[in-house]
Amino acid sequence: GQQVMQIPQYQHVQEGEDFTTYCNSSTTLSNIQWYKQRPGGHPVFLIQLVKSGEVKKQKRLTFQFGEAKKNSSLHITATQTTDVGTYFCAGGHNQGGKLIFGQGTELSVKP
């Protein structure tokens, strides 16, 4: 079936270091989304990527969608303690359809 794999499962960094999480789908996606879930909270939408090879930036966050629309990455430059949480990618296969979530990457930042 449709699967979305995400690595690493955990990442511990020193404040100021960079962080990257990777997402890989077994099938071609129509779109990929990224969510952040703070400890004890619910997932909050960060961004959606639709186009092949698309790159989007939000301040220190850079999101990429692969050329084949099967993989994606989220890169955070110079992490801060406020970046702590679990980052999930979620792949969609058709307009209005369900999203399949990756396993998530839990980021901890040591001040």
Partner 1 sequence: GAVVSQHPSWVICKSGTSVKIECRSLDFQATTMFWYRQFPKQSLMLMATSNEGSKATYEQGVEKDKFLINHASLTLSTLTVTSAHPEDSSFYICSARDRRTTNEKLFFGSGTQLSVL
Taking the C-alpha atoms of residue 48 and residue 12, their distance in angstroms, rounded to an integer, is 26
- Name the segment binding partner 1 (CB under 8 A); options: 16-24, 52-60, 77-85, 102-110: 102-110
- Name the segment binding partner 1 (CB under 8 A); options: 13-21, 43-51, 56-64, 72-80: 43-51
Place of tokens 């990442």: 11
Closer residue to partner 1 in complex, CB, 12/98? 98
Which residue type does 26 have? S
- Name the segment binding partner 1 (CB under 8 A); options: 19-27, 38-46, 61-69, 71-79: 38-46
Considering only residues 55 to 94 of the shown chain, the ones binding partner 1 according to CB under 8 A are 86, 88, 90, 92
Q: What are phi and psi of 82, to 5 degrees?
A: -75, -10
Which residues are at the interface with partner 1 (CB under 8 A)? 1, 6, 31, 33, 35, 41-45, 48, 86, 88, 90, 92, 95-96, 98-104, 106
